């Protein structure tokens, strides 16, 4: 996978903690994994909201059709 070089700013304390825990040559990979994890969480939340919206729409349609389904059936 190709990479893109970016310039970011971090709070000083966060950078100190990152520098203390992660070797300089491994920082990019660590940050990329953290971003990927955060993006996956956002995607899960977005999908969950979309599923809830779809379920509400299906429930609304089913409620509208309840009277129609039994029409003409004796």
pLDDT tens per residue, the chain (74 residues)? 899 999 999 999 999 999 999 999 999 999 999 999 999 999 999 999 999 999 999 999 999 888 776 666 65
The radius of gyration of the chain's CA atoms, rounded to the nearest angstrom, is 25
Cα–Cα distance measured from residue 27 to residue 19, given in angstroms and rounded to the nearest whole number? 8
Domain ranges of the chain: 12-69
Please compute, for residue 27, the number of CA atoms within 13 A of its CA located in the half-sphere on the CB side: 14
In contact, 18 and 30? CB cutoff 8 Å: yes
Of the candidates 46, 44, 22, which has an alpha carbon nearest to the alpha carbon of residue 33? 22
User: What is the tens place of the pLDDT at every residue in 34-45?
Assistant: 999 999 999 999
């Amino acid at each position: 996978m190709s990479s893109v070089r970016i310039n970011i700013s971090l709070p000083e304390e966060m950078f100190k903690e990152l520098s203390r825990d992660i070797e300089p040559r491994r920082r990019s990979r660590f940050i990329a994994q953290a971003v990927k994890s955060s993006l996956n969480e956002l995607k899960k939340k977005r999908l969950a909201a979309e599923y809830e919206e779809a379920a509400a729409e299906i429930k609304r349609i089913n409620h509208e059709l309840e009277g129609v389904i039994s029409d003409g059936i004796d």
